Amino acid sequence: MFALSLLTTLVALVFAGVAIGGVLQRFVTQSVDARLRDRLAALESAVHRDGTIDPAAITRVTARFPRDEPWQIETPAGVRLGAGNLSEEAPALARPAAPPRGHSGPTPAPLDDVQPFDARMPAGERVHGLASTLMTLTGSTRVSVAVPREQIDRPVLAALAPLAASLAILGFALGGAALIQLRLGLRPLRALRHAVEAIRRGRAGQVPEDVPDELRPLARELNALADENAAALAGARAAAANLAHALKTPVSTLALHLADDRAAQAQLGRIDATLRHHLGRARATAIDRRAVTPLAPALNDLAAAITALHMGRVAIAVDVAPDLVAGIDAQDLDELAGNLIDNAARHAAATVRISANAQDRHVWLTVTDDGEGIDAQDRERATTPGTRLDERGSGHGFGLSIVRELAELYGGALTLGDAPGGGLMATVSLPPG
């Protein structure tokens, strides 16, 4: 839009400059022609009715002519008088009709019969002049006067220089005004874009509808679309959650009852892998990319619940900034962090530490315990569904695999390492809020 506005302004200014230049040239030419008409009339008065020329009158008239301004009188008898050769330079004039009977003097050409001409003198100088034809008793006599062309071009060019500067300043002013107008006019669109971004990031549910009349239908359609997407997402999440809860307990129970049957365990593993694959695809489509959840309240609640679940056997410390948020749904955060903290509490000797920080466009959630840890060669296998490296105590081997799957659904990852002083350190990367 700005480029089109600049192009239109440039074309308009060029057209205006050309038009004004033409008007200036016409005005200067008319002023020069008025002076030439007076000289032409003075020279015509020196032509007698019989075609002869009055030398005294010519001398008196031409004494006032500047030396660089040519003139010429050409009679039927071939007599040519003047300063400069204009006979071939001036245009041929139509011969007027013969004078009526009883005509007693020359017939001056009417004003409309005077013809302007632009020509180049034998020396190369360009001239502008006027020519007329007088009918005498012996035939037609042509009278021509001219001035150097620069007498017209010089004042026009002198006027065009400030005119061009003025048009350039006007062009910059119009361009700046167009830019300001576009920025002000597009401000509601930028606000609408920020509102849509806020919906996508989960900071808002709808765009404001107090926008200009032209944009209000668009804002209403965006809000309707956001509401429909939210309803569809809620339905998909509910279906995925119901399926997950419905299948998790039967599969876990079958895994316990069929622990000694390797063939059954293999088939159960295939069933579990297939279910998790399709459940993961369904859940991935139901992930709320706009969700934002504060970490500190959720982690403190989980720490308190898991501490009570383990009857105070372990102490769980939470070190998370109160204002730190992550781009994850609250229910998914509870399941991810709950499995991670519960796994740490079951294997810890006495202490579990939870920390989180934002760095490099990610939120890093870290859970460490002071247990025996996991050997480096077994860490990849520990995140495989149904795999238990420690057969003591409760658990079905799905905790870390759930954490990994949820982290990957949100574009993050689960990393297992050694905790300072011994034990396991599990780190999950999540999108920022």
What are the tens digits of pLDDT across the range 215-237?
888 888 888 888 888 787 777 76
pLDDT at 284: 57
Measured between its terminal Cα atoms, the distance across the chain in Å is 35
Please check whether residue 137 lies inside any domain of the structure.
Answer: yes
pLDDT for 100: 45
Verdict on whether the full-model pTM lies above 0.75: no
- Binned at pLDDT 50, 70 and 90, residue 196 comes out as confident
pLDDT band at 395 (very low <50, low <70, confident <90, very high): very low
Is the domain of 234 the same as that of 263? yes
Residue 125: the pLDDT is 84
The pLDDT score that the predictor gives to residue 101 is 43
What is the domain count for the chain?
A: 3
Could you tell me if 150 and 16 lie in one domain? yes
- Pair 281, 417 in one domain: no
Q: Does the pLDDT of residue 366 top 90, yes or no? A: yes
pLDDT in tens, 116-152: 988 887 777 888 999 988 888 888 888 889 999 989 8
* Nearest-10 crossing angle of helices 2-44, 150-200: 170
Q: What percent of the chain has pLDDT over 70?
A: 80
Buried b (16+ CB within 10 A) or exposed e, 167-192: beeebeebeeebeeeeeeeeebeeeb
Residue 159 lies in a domain: no
Contact 348, 314 (CB under 8 A): yes
420 and 308 housed in the same domain? yes
Whether residue 415 sits in one domain with residue 298: yes
Average pLDDT, the chain: 79
Instruction: Write the pLDDT tens digit of every residue in 243-289.
Output: 765 666 677 677 767 767 777 777 776 776 666 656 665 665 556 66
Residues 149 and 279 in one domain: no
- In a domain, residue 176? The reply is no
Please tell me whether residues 135 and 43 are part of one structural domain: yes
Task: Return the structure tokens found at 359.
Answer: 């760095």
Q: What is the pLDDT of residue 426?
A: 92
In a domain? residue 247: yes
Structure confidence at residue 245 (pLDDT): 59
pLDDT at 70: 87
pLDDT at residue 343 is higher than 70: yes
SS3 420: coil
Answer yes or no: is pLDDT of 88 > 80: no
* Phi, psi dihedrals of residue 421, rounded to the nearest 5°: 90, 0
- Whether 188 is in a domain gets the answer no
Residues 35 and 128 in one domain: yes
Q: Residue 130 to residues 38, 96, 142, 238: CA-CA distances in angstroms?
A: 11, 17, 11, 97
Provide the CATH number for the domain around residue 332: 3.30.565.10
- Residue 174 domain-assigned? no
* Domain edge (last residue) among 154, 180, 196: 154
- Assess if residue 69 is contained within a domain: yes
pLDDT score of 109 more than 50: no
Note the pLDDT of residue 68. Answer: 81
Of all residues in the chain, the percent with pLDDT exceeding 90 is 13
pLDDT (mean) for 396-405: 69
For residues 297 and 252, membership in a common domain is answered with no
Section 407-417 average pLDDT: 87
CA dihedral 92, 96, 102, 108 (to 10 degrees): -60
Residues 217 and 285 in one domain: yes
Asked if residue 370 lies in contact with residue 420, where contact means CB atoms within 8 angstroms, the answer is no
CA separation for the pair 146, 40 (Å, rounded): 9
Distance, in Å, from the CA atom of 106 to the CA atom of 54, rounded to the nearest integer, reads 13
> Domain limits at 27?
2-154
**What's the confidence (pLDDT) of residue 103?**
46
Using one digit for the tens of pLDDT, what is the confidence trace for 290-332? Answer: 678 899 999 999 999 888 888 888 999 999 999 999 988 888 8
The three-class DSSP label of residue 362 is strand
Single residue among 290, 316, 339 that ends a domain in this structure: 290
Last residue of a domain, one of 290, 322, 341: 290
Q: pLDDT tens, 59-82?
A: 888 888 888 888 888 888 776 777
- pLDDT score for 92: 39
| DSSP H or E run through 167 | helix 150-200
Q: Is the pLDDT of residue 367 over 90?
A: yes
Reported for 381-384, long-range contacts at CB under 8 A and 24+ positions apart, including other chains, are 382/416, 383/414, 383/416
Does the residue 160 lie in any domain?
Answer: no
Q: Are residues 335 and 276 in the same domain?
A: no
284 and 303 in a single domain? The answer is no
Ranges of beta strands (E only) in 228-350 are 293-294, 315-319, 325-326
